[in-house]
Chains A and B, each alone.
Chain A
Amino acid sequence: MTDRYKQFALSLILTASINLFGASGVLCVLGSPRIAAAQQAQSDGPGHDDHEHENDNGEHAEHSAPDDHGAPDDHGATDDHGAVRLTQAEMDEFGVKIATAGPGVILNTLELPGEVVPNADRLAHIVPRFPGIAKEVRARIGDYVKKGQVLAVIESDESLAPFEVRTLISGTIIAKHITLGEAASRDRDAFVIADLSSVWVDVTVYQRDLNIVKVGQSAQVLIGHDVAHGTSRISYITPIVDEHTRTATARLVLTNKESLWRPGMFVTARVTVGEAEVPVAVPGTALQMFEGRTVVFVETDEGLIPQPVTLGRHNETTYEVLSGLPPGIRYVSKGGFTLKAELEKEAFGDGHAH
């Protein structure tokens, strides 16, 4: 009887153990390896990178959380307060340049299309006094003529007497509408003479620029591709805008001793619309967008930290800093992107776009 009982008990225990031990063991292994893997990953702690795939940035992911200050962080050059420490070698390697904040000049320019036209103040339209037949034409187009020089001889229809047509100014003949034997009339210019020693540049000013383009501003005039340039000032701006093109015209007067500027030429005028001396100016390369704000990285005891700044006037390369960057402070003038990226590093851990 005891034997029977023993037998039964044993078989019960052992079958139970099979089921528990065997089945649950297998279940355990097949079912939950990742939990353990994760635990292991956690126990490895930060600093070890050997679990490449479990994202080891989890522990850095929330720097903004106030209770996160105690988090051990020997990973990377970032510390809890968002400062970056770099060695000089690293700064050289990544092209991080330091400069001292100081005053600068901000030159604002505007490039506008323009056209060289004859100086209307130095233009002469020559017409014959009386209608008649051209008996003699002494000047050709393009000739330079002196004031009072005879350009043509015309036989008057009324008196049948020849009379001389003379130029009123010295200049170049830029148009000629008279041919030998032709009937010349007072209605038509026989000659147009322009004094090209100075020319006008009519610059197109668009509506949005009208409030910044002012008479007296200086401007460089470029013949495309920076080939040649002259400098002048805006002498006049049309008081009304063209009904058709909705643009105004600003006028520059250029001296043209070397006959460089030919009417009809298409040029670009680079108008200096603003020039300001500011107490703190930084190059555009110093500015970074960080957490939705514009920042400049500044040197502190803790390292390089992003300092939000407010900007004032600027041009394409230089920005005025109104606040946030006192003069004399050392700041990162170039290579700030590397620092910004370092600060954002924990956030882009998932960067492998999938």
Chain B
Amino acid sequence: MIERIIQFSLRNRLLVTVFALLVMAAGYYTYTKLPVDAFPDVSPNLVQVFTVTEGLAPEEIEKFVTYPVEVAMTGLPGVEKVRSVSNFGLSVVNVYFEDNMDVYFARQLVGERLQEAREQIPEGFGEPELGPISTGMGLVLFYYLNDTKGEHSLEELRTIQDWLVKFHLQTVPGVTEVLGIGGYEKQFHVVVHPEELLRFDVTLGEVIERIRANNLNVGAQFIEKNAEEFVVRSVGLATNRDDLRSVVVKTEDGRSVFLSDLADVEIGGAIRRGVQTRNGAGEVVSGMVIKLFGTNSSTVIASVEERLRKINDILPDGVEIVPYYEQKSLVQGAVRTVTSALVQGIVLVSLVLLVFMGGLRPSFVVAISIPFSVLFAFLLMGRAGISANLMSFGGLAIAIGMMVDGTIVMVENIDRMLRTAKPDEPRMQVIARACREVGRPILFAISIIIIVFLPLFTLQGVEGKTFRPLAYTVSFAMLGSLIFALALAPMLGSVFMRAPKRKSVPGIKSRADAGESAIVRMLLRPYRPLLRFFIAHRWIAVAVSLGLLAVGAVLFPRLGSEFTPKLKEGTIVVRLTMAPSISLTESTRSTLIVERRLLAIPEVREVVTRIGRGEVGAHADPINSAEIYVLLHPPAEWRTAESQEDIENIIREELGNIPGVLANLTQPIEMTVDELLEGIRAELAIKLFGEDLDILRTQAERIAAAVRDVRGAADIQVDQVGGAPQLLVKIDRKAIARYGINVADVQAVVHAAIGGEVAGQIFEGVRRFDILVRYEPRARETAEAIGHILINGPDGLKVPLDELAEIEEIIGPRQIKREDNQRFITVQCNVIGRDIGTFVEEAQRVIDEQVDLPPGYLVTWGGQFRLQQEANKRLRVVVPFTLLAVFLLLFSSFQSLKNAVLILLNIPLALVGGVAALWLSGQNLSVPASVGFIALFGIALENGMVLVTYLNQLVKEGVPIDQASVRGACLRLRPVLMTALTTALGLIPLLLATGMGSEVQKPLATVVVGGLVTSTVLTLLVIPAIYAWFAPRKPVALD
């Protein structure tokens, strides 16, 4: 098979060239079309359903909105779980789908079921809507409107944002949504004076009805006139405040009572649940651009910026759009980090080739394998839908050194054969022979590299999403390099490589060294005696490797350990959490104080904060949470701080002690993704499911108390579900019965008088603004005033509200969380200093003993430990399976158990180097580091194979084992060193990189580089030394 390929490639050189060029062209084309992101998108596959119901408390939201939506979502195909949060005025239902589900299909399913839910939601309780078609990485650009002249009110600015900026931005291809926040949405306020209602004997309901009845346009078909058609249009829309003021509410004795007699008509701001502030100075109006799922971040951002420039031109004088967060810089930074690593890697690898090959032509053939493999990988990335990002490009950077390996072996063999072949043998035949000789080992070696990446594909969740692109690109590139080595390298070799002119080089001692490049000759000088020594004293070799292993075993437990190092996004976000009962005014005040403190840090140029939520779609934060984007001066102007970490520390110090405000540092994407994952960060999450919120809370506290006493428990925390004060209007049914008033009559007035009722809209062109009818503030702002609101009964009866209802202040739930159609509360906990499995057992027992749950209440155990257990279980199968597969491959390659074991010996010694390198550089054992180990296995095995294959060959040829060991090792010094060096040098740029995203690649590179050192030493010294024990049985002597 391999021989046929090689033969074919040598015979049809033109065809193969055309094929190669086609692949490369297609690869390049795909590359230009690849979506570019900063990181792999780790957002879960979910569809969000938002329902806004202004003014409704969490309990009502849950009952009337969340529940119907949730129920409708059950039983959809591919749904993993349904989670919901019912907040004040907002219901968010997250429908999590399996990862492989198409997002549009999932949305379609949810959309269909939403229709059912809509029918179940009572009239006027809001319309459920699907969230934007985007992910946690979708928030690509935030901007605010800068009113340089200070001429515009916040309403005006918000109107500019909503009807000008947003309008133009939404049509940019790739933008799925533009959400505004800050300022006030313009509204026409009809501020009703209740005493005037009494005076003119009008009810609030009548006022609303009259406004509605006096604000409409109709069409009345057409009339014919002189053979022409005239469309009849009757215009009666109110267009301004005066139109509203002159609405007649009542006519008595021919005298009209106008709306202006009863109420003031003003332009005001809508009720809001979010504010945007800047620089501690005050409010601004801002917006965020959300990118469509699957689009190319960099193109979308570029077109948004382009459009922003155009919009700036048409904005009113003195108003400008200022972007304050752009994912662009992040994407660019990440791409720059990996591309520069890629380019530097290519340069370094080429240098190694030049030095070792000692000739331009073979180096050229090998070097071409890099672009080919990379472009081939692009081609497959396009097919597999993998975006260009830090991890996928990182995979290519890792693979750079490895993708030349196959070709190096191939070309090196051709080179050597050409040198040593008899002069009369046809060149093509020599090349074919050389290729055949190494074809099989190359196939197996590269297959092994691909196979060792298998465990990465089985990673799940965030880790899986982060590292799978890397595993994919490495595999793709290796596949490309395999194709190149087998199909193209022979052809290129035959075109470019010539047998060297034989000339005697002075100073060459042995025939074997002939033709080796100068550097190899230099290395051979100390290598050969050293090797001889080890072969003579095999036990020393064994002792050395065992010693190394011991070092590794000592160092290994000393390594710290962490999850994936945090990707630095280059933007600091300070997240503030304030008391759950806080008012928006107070949280704005506190935030401004924090902003001023931040601004006092000399490195901070600007701070922009979002408090709560704006237009629904991206955030569902309550008003007690604020996110401050801290913009820094360029590093050159920093005075007190050296690095971003310094600034972060200064910020922590500065904000560590703000009364009533909790500050945490985070990053934009991290924050959004965390929100979507809704994950529990603690290891252990005890979830208590049940009906009654009070019981849930008290039982959860009991569970927490019980678990607290279990050894190893730490950081126990019960979900805060309460803490939101409510003014509860409890209608007294007996009282309303006495007066003959319906509940609905009371509710309608309570709703409209206190909360306000929208009575139609005012159109200004296509811009539409709500007309909000509401009592004047004085008449609705205190419990007393609310108690005095008069309810109209039959026959003009007027009864104050507090005669009909009890008004009390209570502390209600802040939010109600549900999962799987049930309310739940979480108790989070970490476990320190003991095995989590036994901890869970003990905790379970303690809870059973001490906490007596009422019927219908259920405890489940989850959290990170569950995920870890699952991951471990999977890996316990996958890793041995991978090793087995590798072993089988080795076995089938060598047809020898002993050879296979010998080659597998490379793995532990390679590990030692990796561990030592991590320890020396003070890095932790992390997921990227273990990915590095995986890559290392592949390379170590490959090196072993190259050597052992040749040793076997020599033995088969009848060379005595010891002699074969020395000769083989010396001959293979060049390819082994070359493959090791190319791989190591290919990674050096990643190792030294400091750019954005380098923190993820660094541990990986460290492990591989460190491991290569030990594994190469082993391959070159120990394997030949102990080869004798593992050599195939000596063939019966031929002579």
Contacts and interface: CB of A to CB of B under 8 A. Distances in A.
A14 B875 CA distance: 21
Interface stretch (B794-802, B946-954, B979-987): B794-802
B868 interface: yes
Interface in A291-339: 292, 316, 337-339
Given A244-B797, A353-B85, A11 B664 contact: no
B660 A337 contact: yes
Nearest to A223: B195
B666 A52 contact: yes
Given A27-B875, A348-B624, A40 B811 contact: no
A342 B717 contact: no
Contact of A84 (B659, B830, B875): B659
A266 B199 contact: yes
Contacts of A65: 708
B37 interface: no
Contacts of B872: 27, 30-32
A28 B814 CA distance: 40
Nearest to A29: B930
B372 interface: no
A19 B880 contact: yes
Interface string A23-64: 101111111111111111110000001101111011101100
A341 B577 CA distance: 10
Interface stretch (A86-94, A152-160, A181-189, A195-203): A86-94
Nearest to A3: B1029
Given A21-B552, A34-B864, A37-B563, A113 B195 contact: yes
Contacts of B832: 38-39, 42
Nearest to A224: B195
A316 B782 contact: yes
Interface centre among A55, A61, A352 (most CB of B within 10 A): A352
Nearest to A58: B715
A54 B659 contact: no
B87 interface: yes
A264 to B, nearest CB: 10
B553 interface: yes
Contact of B720 (A26, A292, A348): A348
B656 A49 contact: yes
Contacts of A17: 549, 908
Interface string A202-226: 0000111000000000000000110
Interface stretch (B434-442, B897-905, B965-973): B897-905
Contacts of B624: 348, 351
A52 B1026 CA distance: 52
A75 B656 contact: yes
B625 interface: yes
A62 B708 contact: yes
A262 interface: no
A315 to B, nearest CB: 9
Contact of B193 (A38, A55, A57, A224): A224
B784 interface: yes
A59 B715 contact: yes
Contacts of A36: 560-562, 924-925
A352 B542 CA distance: 58
A65 B577 CA distance: 24
B879 interface: yes
Contacts of A208: 800, 802-803
Interface in A237-264: 244-246
A350 B683 CA distance: 16
Interface in A70-99: 75-77, 84, 86, 90, 93-95
Contact of B714 (A11, A58, A244, A352): A58
A5 to B, nearest CB: 11
Contacts of A84: 659
Interface stretch (B293-301, B387-395, B410-418, B579-587): B579-587
Interface centre among A206, A316, A338 (most CB of B within 10 A): A338
A344 B450 CA distance: 54
B196 interface: yes
A324 B580 CA distance: 26
Interface centre among A31, A62, A75, A268 (most CB of B within 10 A): A31
A231 B472 CA distance: 87
Given A52-B666, A111-B788, A208-B800, A31 B875 contact: yes
Contacts of B620: 353-354
Interface in B541-596: 542, 549, 552-553, 556, 560-564, 575, 577-582, 586, 589-590, 593
A249 to B, nearest CB: 14
Q: How large is the interface on A (under 10, 10 to 19, 20 to 34, 35 or more residues)?
A: 35 or more
A11 B577 contact: no
A231 B510 CA distance: 126
Nearest to A222: B195
Given A37-B561, A76-B656, A339-B659, A22 B911 contact: yes
B663 to A, nearest CB: 8
Contacts of A10: 542, 1026, 1029
Nearest to A43: B832
A141 interface: no
Interface string B872-883: 100110011001
B207 interface: no
Interface centre among B624, B660, B717 (most CB of A within 10 A): B660
B599 interface: no
Contacts of A53: 664, 666, 674, 681
A276 interface: no
Contacts of A15: 901, 904
A86 to B, nearest CB: 6
B779 to A, nearest CB: 10
Contact of B717 (A7, A61, A292, A341): A61
A262 to B, nearest CB: 13
Nearest to A60: B717
Given A22-B908, A266-B195, A350 B560 contact: no
A266 B200 CA distance: 9
Nearest to B574: A52
B621 A352 contact: yes
A168 interface: no
Contacts of B678: 354
B905 A350 contact: no
Nearest to B596: A93
Contact of A32 (B542, B621, B868, B924): B868
Given A27-B875, A316-B784, A22 B675 contact: no
Interface string B794-819: 01011110110000010100110000
B160 interface: no
B927 interface: yes
Contact of B907 (A18, A28, A52, A351): A18
Interface string B922-946: 0011110110011001000000000
B652 interface: yes
Interface centre among B561, B656, B723, B898 (most CB of A within 10 A): B561
Interface in B666-682: 666, 674-675, 678, 681-682
A18 B883 contact: yes
27 contacts: A7-B898, A14-B905, A18-B905, A21-B552, A21-B911, A29-B927, A29-B933, A30-B455, A30-B875, A32-B561, A33-B564, A33-B927, A35-B831, A36-B562, A39-B833, A53-B681, A58-B714, A113-B195, A206-B800, A208-B800, A289-B581, A338-B660, A347-B720, A348-B580, A351-B624, A353-B620, A353-B625
Given A29-B925, A53-B674, A90-B659, 4 more contacts: A15-B904, A53-B664, A77-B659, A224-B193
Q: Which 9 A-B pairs have the closest CB atoms?
A: A341-B660, A58-B715, A36-B561, A351-B577, A29-B930, A341-B579, A33-B563, A266-B199, A31-B872
Interface of A: 3, 6-7, 10-11, 14-15, 17-19, 21-23, 25-42, 49-50, 52-55, 57-59, 61-62, 65, 75-77, 84, 86, 90, 93-95, 111, 113, 206-208, 224-225, 244-246, 266, 268, 289, 292, 316, 337-342, 344-345, 347-354
